[in-house]
């Protein structure tokens, strides 16, 4: 497994870019700065397959929809109980001075014990 940490937003929240030997990749917690994250994926000549969310706080999900819509890839996670945070994204953005963001529902939820594949990589979901 290869990876790099990409701090994003004024909070410098860590977004992780992970990939396998064939260049199949995922962004974990893309909290903002979609253009910068996509530029890093392109610079490394990777194929982004999914966006993985560990939880629904704004600084961990802020760029997910923009990237999903640009590339047509799924947003996976967080767990279903995090829908509350995703529903109040507009308020979170307002309170913390982030650009406006609409609520969304991920393409798939994650639960404790699930596994997530990114190319040849397999991640265990722990809650």
- Which DSSP string corresponds to 70-113? HHT--EE-S-GGGHHHHHTHHHHHHHHTPPP------SB---TT
pLDDT tens digits for 86-114?
999 999 999 999 989 999 999 999 999 99
What is the arithmetic mean of pLDDT over 60-77? Answer: 97
- Model confidence at 127: pLDDT above 90: no
* pLDDT score, position 16: 98
User: Which helix (DSSP H) or strand (DSSP E) does residue 121 occupy?
Assistant: strand 121-124
Q: How far is CA 10 from CA 7, 31, 43, 71, in A?
A: 9, 10, 23, 25
């Amino acid at each position: 497994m290869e990876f790099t940490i990409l701090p994003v937003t004024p909070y410098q929240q860590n977004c992780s870019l992970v990939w396998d030997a064939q260049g199949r990749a995922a962004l974990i917690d893309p909290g903002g700065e979609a253009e910068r994250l996509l530029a890093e994926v392109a610079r490394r000549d990777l194929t982004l397959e999914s966006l993985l969310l560990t939880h629904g706080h704004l600084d961990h999900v802020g760029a997910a929809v923009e990237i999903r819509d640009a590339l047509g890839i799924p947003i996976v996670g967080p767990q279903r109980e995090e829908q509350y945070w995703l529903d109040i994204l507009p308020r979170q953005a307002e309170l913390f001075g982030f650009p406006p963001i609409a609520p969304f529902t991920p393409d798939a939820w994650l639960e404790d014990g699930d596994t997530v594949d990114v190319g040849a990589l397999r991640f265990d979901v722990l809650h």
